[in-house]
Chain A
Amino acid sequence: MSERFRILIAKPGLDGHDRGAKVIARALRDAGMEVIYAGLRQTPEMIVEAALQEDVDGVGLSILSGAHMTLIPRVVHGLREAGLEHVKLFVGGIIPDEDVPALEALGVSGIFGPGASTEVITEFVRQRLAGS
């Protein structure tokens, strides 16, 4: 069976811009994935619940608020607690270089800055979901 990836795209935090998240969601859809778009102001608990109900292979978070160091650990722990440690986590947004090692240590599979092209992100996500 050809693999049909399901990925959840969510925008945690309180800031109201989801343009970036939508662009990535569309790119992933155009790459043949089933994208569950959860939209704005998602709490870590909501993200974990949606990932579980939708049985996704990956979760992509768009974080511009600077709250990544509080939000991402909560999502990681929530996924783990729900038995979803296999779900790959991707983060896009403004993430300072010095935070990257800590996020990678948490098990985040990919971190993309505002300059990353959708082609690069899509290909990276596809390969990670395929398990390479």
Chain B
Amino acid sequence: MELATQALGGNRYALARLISLVEDDGAEARAALTALYPRTGQAHIVGVTGAPGTGKSTLVNQLAQSLRERDQTVGIVAVDPSSPFTGGAMLGDRVRMRDLAGDPGVFIRSMATRGNLGGLARATRDVVKVLDAVGFAVVLVETVGAGQSEVEIARTAHTTVVVEAPGLGDEMQALKAGLMEIADVLVVNKADRPGAANTARALEMVLDRSAPRPNLSSGDGETRQLWEPPILQTVALDGSGVPQVLDAVAAHREHLRASGLWSELERERVREELLSLLQQELLRRTVARVGEEQVQAWTAQIAARQVDVYTAVHEILGE
């Protein structure tokens, strides 16, 4: 609580400590999140995802600088994978963010996934909430470029920027399908390299803009304008094309606001969060009530085909 108050007052070390608490979970973290929650919901949360090495961190560095030029404060969460074997992690995204050093309007935090799959850490959403609550106007979240389904970032961010680069070869084709679905803004980075225009064209084809798309209809029968993800080229090394990406990100935010999707997404997100927490908590309580011994006894019986899993669940829940 103390930390939350200090962090709200602009104490950056308190903010850093608070983020650690949230990462480690526990009662103190939950109390702080409770205190901060009414202040959340202000920041524009922007996810930056894409295959390893496409230039996500370099682009985040540029986006943050451009945002600062537009007088917006920026919180950055950069996620990298933990080793499933040792729990260790190499968090190297800061290497590309040197230009942001010394700016009090920027706060960069590296996070390890700590066993969570899907490109984010379990606590990433809560860390984003903390940065939102203390007043960062934009929170940029760089995910692990895992190449697996990246839906988690799409569920966390308002706007998802998918970064591609020319010449990644065929494995990129496989990535596209999943990544393209979540992209609100598509960036072909490394446009200084040969093949960028081809990559952009290939993406254009995957998007298939000519195909008829169903219009979303809102409750009152009006149809909404659909968002067409723009495909933009950048050279993150020197910043070319970056203002255009930022314009697209801002336009997407306006689109969400104007269409009412912003609050719709918010409700969806909250519902999902509520249900998943309920699930965890009910499971924890049930196991605690029944006892680990009983769980093992049921497990043995089910494995021995003496009882089936559905019957076991009914019995355990006392139905």
What residues of chain A lie closer than 8 Å to B89, measured between beta carbons?
Answer: 29, 33-35
Report, as a range, how many residues of chain A touch the other chain: 20 to 34
- A1-B24 contact given A30-B88, A34-B112, CB 8 Å threshold: yes
Alpha-carbon distance A45/B82, docked complex (angstroms): 28
**Number of B interface residues in the complex (CB < 8 A):** 27
- A32-B90 contact given A52-B16, A53-B108, CB 8 Å threshold: no
Alpha-carbon distance A28/B91, docked complex (angstroms): 12
What 1/0 mask marks residues of chain B from 160 to 171 whose CB sits below 8 Å from any chain A CB?
Answer: 000000000000
Whether B90 lies near A26 (C-beta < 8 A) is: yes
Tell which of B82, B88, B107 touches A28, judged by Cβ atoms closer than 8 Å: B88
What residues of chain A lie closer than 8 Å to B16, measured between beta carbons?
Answer: 52-55
**Residue B149 is within 8 A (CB to CB) of chain A in the complex:** no
**Residue B284 is within 8 A (CB to CB) of chain A in the complex:** no
Mark out the residues of chain B between 78 and 99 whose CB falls within 8 Å of any chain A CB in the assembled complex: 82-83, 86-92, 94-95, 98
**Residue A37 is within 8 A (CB to CB) of chain B in the complex:** yes
Alpha-carbon distance A25/B16, docked complex (angstroms): 22
Alpha-carbon distance A28/B86, docked complex (angstroms): 10
Query: B28 to nearest A CB, angstroms?
Result: 12
- A39-B13 contact given A34-B112, A54-B109, CB 8 Å threshold: no
Whether B87 lies near A32 (C-beta < 8 A) is: yes
**Residue B193 is within 8 A (CB to CB) of chain A in the complex:** no
The total of interchain contacts (Cβ-Cβ below 8 angstroms) comes to 80
- A36-B101 contact given A1-B24, A52-B12, A54-B16, CB 8 Å threshold: no
What residues of chain B lie closer than 8 Å to A50, measured between beta carbons?
Answer: 94, 101, 108
Whether A36 lies near B88 (C-beta < 8 A) is: no
What 1/0 mask marks residues of chain A from 34 to 52 whose CB sits below 8 Å from any chain B CB?
Answer: 1111111111011001101
**Residue B259 is within 8 A (CB to CB) of chain A in the complex:** no
Whether A82 lies near B13 (C-beta < 8 A) is: yes
Q: Which residues of B contact A (CB under 8 A)?
A: 12-13, 16-17, 19-20, 24, 26, 82-83, 86-92, 94-95, 98, 101-102, 107-110, 112
Q: Which residues of A contact B (CB under 8 A)?
A: 1, 4, 25-26, 28-43, 45-46, 49-50, 52-55, 82-84
| Extra pairs beyond A39-B94, A46-B101, A55-B17 (4, CB < 8 Å) | A38-B95, A40-B95, A50-B108, A83-B13
